[in-house]
Structure 1
């Protein structure tokens, strides 16, 4: 009798259990929780365009020209570009289509407690877009963390577009803090002398990458993967200034979750519902998925005591919940033993009271 009661009680006692999944989604957001810093993007070659938005200072060396006939520009061999505002832009594009682009994003590293938001692949325009922010509560005392980016720009001419920038060699000192700089867009042609360019952004940046044609497995090593993460999110939130309500939309296109030796299938626009933001602990693999449905392929691992799936996160249509016995016994045997214990208790309780 006691054993039967104990079996039933433990059946309803939740136990965290490992799970894994493979999801194709329009976008994904997460926070990198590992230490130390970690390679995120690696050796993305033949890029058509690179756009960075955020505060930083860039020094470039080489020969410069401009269709705007900027006085003294062609005599300079160095420009110091100060991106002064959070929405200031630094854009690099290839010039001409005769030769393959030499523009390469060699490495982009994640600092501890870096949030990557709205990582999105746009197949129709061959673009990868995301925002990065170093969360304020992880800044070391007296030390300002930055987002490091390493580029190879090659030797061929590049188009440089800057917006919201002060260029010390071209602008007078009294225009450095001029608000007109925030809206000024300048376009230059730059022939680099040094093929390597290092960028460091203060805390936050928006990155847009114009990708080459994806053929074969050339994108397999772009995302380094094996990221220790938390706060993984596969949804998009829509807001209006005149309303307090937020509309949450799932960006999942399809997927499968393997939990308790069973498969939960995710269909388009369904939510993956987990009890804690930290339930997904690792993104083992990130890849572009240009085939149908086009999006980002995310392979994930974690640990939880229950998982649910549904079009509405408040009303799941499928759910699985772990317990002590699910981890130790086959599911069919657990069902048989639960039935036996329930029947035994049903006979024994009336017998005790009579």
Structure 2
């Protein structure tokens, strides 16, 4: 049995057209149309206002908000001072300097010398095989050098390791005598022991409760060859001798060591003068260890007259370049390098540079809002002060963005003001 299909209902286009005509004939001023027009106008106005505010914010951000940026540099300098700010104990600072021509240690120490002694001024010393030398103050001196300078030296500074918050003050390379020198102090020490020359003042500061007991260790290998030894500010119990400012009595003798290894605890202040062997780039690059977390880095020295008010800070930079946010500055001799906080945070590499200009070559990196250079820190001649946007965009992209925002703001502002004025006029016209 076949079912009969229901006939499809035909669309009456005539009636549909009549309904549409009725909709079109709705009055233009009905409430629905008013609400629709109001929302349309408000949405357009608010969207334009948001775009204008975004553009103005970007422009002001570029002009006034600097932010913290990373910088890096490579300097050649006569001197550098810094505080080791890392957390690693016994951080390697100096490593394996061999064939040292002469080494001078200024520190308060006690050491035992075992071996043969030869002295033209004290016959009693020639009969001894061991003496205990006490360096009595921070300016006491122990100087070691081969007694026969023409023979290769066996003196080796095996290593110096430092503790956190140790200040390396006035690290210097003097090319005339191939001398590397520096002073160790407690970081941010208000007494500034390295800069004091009065032994009594140093001893009084060291006896205070806030003194640093240990800054690190020095390991020294002196070999088996005869050495010339000079002592100042000492006492030797076996000889009944001592050297004091009131009774100067420096001593010099030849010492042939029985034991060649010495370890010194470094206390503040400790000063070292090292007459280096022939400096070559390959060898010298291994002496000063890099990768040091640091703070309070200074490329300056103080020109002192005895009156604090007359002291001058002099830049020790010989040449260098520094880069930040795709911009670069080149430093000339004796220009100051000025950064904001936190400043230089890492000494990536240091080495002795024997080629002109001779000094210490230092590579570093850090963070700051901007960097400045000039022959006087109060009169800046050049600077890099990038905007906050430079952290995310290139210089060209920032210029294009600001130009675009300026154009959009210039076009939107009069339109928004005109729209606001028209709305106020309409409101005034409709008000009773």
The two structures have a TM-score, normalised by structure 2, of 0.76
Q: Does 1:40 align with 2:81?
A: no
CA-to-aligned-CA distance 1:3-25 (integer Å, 9 cap, x gap): 10121232121221111111000
Partner of 2:314: 249
Q: Does 1:189 align with 2:261?
A: no
Partner of 1:340: 404
CA-to-aligned-CA distance 1:282-318 (integer Å, 9 cap, x gap): 1010101110110100000111111111111122211
Q: Cα 1:315–1:340, aligned 2, differ >3 Å: closer, same or farther?
A: farther
Q: Does 1:239 align with 2:290?
A: no
Q: Distance in 1 between matches of 2:340 and 2:187?
A: 23
Partner of 2:12: none
CA-to-aligned-CA distance 1:254-296 (integer Å, 9 cap, x gap): 11112112221111111111013x3100101010111011010
Q: Distance in 1 between matches of 2:175 and 2:313?
A: 23
Q: Does 1:288 align with 2:341?
A: no
SS in structure 2 opposite 1:72? helix
Unaligned runs of 5+ in 2: 1-51, 190-207, 419-432
1 or 2 for the larger relative contact order (CA 8 Å, sep ≥6)?
A: 1
Q: Which moved more, 1:100-109 or 1:194-203?
A: 194-203
Q: Distance in 2 between matches of 1:17 and 1:216?
A: 32
Q: Does 1:16 align with 2:68?
A: yes
SS in structure 2 opposite 1:218? helix
Q: Cα 1:142–1:20, aligned 2, differ >3 Å: closer, same or farther?
A: closer
CA-to-aligned-CA distance 1:19-40 (integer Å, 9 cap, x gap): 1111000110000111222111
CA-to-aligned-CA distance 1:52-105 (integer Å, 9 cap, x gap): 11211111111111121x132122111111111121101101111332000110
Q: Aligned-pair distance for 1:205? A: 0.7
Q: Aligned-pair distance for 1:322? A: 2.7
Q: Aligned-pair distance for 1:179? A: 5.0
Which of 149, 157, 170 matches 2:226?
Answer: 157
SS in structure 2 opposite 1:197? strand
Q: Which has the higher Rg, Structure 1 or Structure 2? A: 2
Q: Cα 1:326–1:237, aligned 2, differ >3 Å: closer, same or farther?
A: same
Partner of 2:145: 93
Partner of 2:31: none
Q: Cα 1:143–1:98, aligned 2, differ >3 Å: closer, same or farther?
A: closer
Q: Distance in 1 between matches of 2:165 and 2:235?
A: 31
CA-to-aligned-CA distance 1:127-178 (integer Å, 9 cap, x gap): 11111112487x9999832431100000000011010100111116xx69x6
Q: Aligned-pair distance for 1:346? A: 3.9
Q: Distance in 2 between matches of 1:123 and 1:78?
A: 37
Q: Distance in 2 between matches of 1:315 and 1:161?
A: 48
Kindly indicate whether the alpha-carbon contact (under 8 Å) linking 1:147 and 1:204 is maintained by their aligned counterparts in 2. no
Kindly indicate whether the alpha-carbon contact (under 8 Å) linking 1:148 and 1:200 is maintained by their aligned counterparts in 2. yes
* CA RMSD of superposed structures (Å): 2.3
Q: Does 1:147 align with 2:200?
A: no
Partner of 1:167: 236
The two structures have a TM-score, normalised by structure 1, of 0.92
Q: Cα 1:141–1:117, aligned 2, differ >3 Å: closer, same or farther?
A: closer
SS in structure 1 opposite 2:283? coil
- Correspondence 1:313-332 to 2 at 5 A: 313-332=377-396
Kindly indicate whether the alpha-carbon contact (under 8 Å) linking 2:77 and 2:316 is maintained by their aligned counterparts in 1. yes
Q: Distance in 1 between matches of 2:297 and 2:66?
A: 22
Q: Aligned-pair distance for 1:116? A: 0.7
Q: Does 1:3 align with 2:48?
A: no
Q: Cα 1:239–1:142, aligned 2, differ >3 Å: closer, same or farther?
A: closer
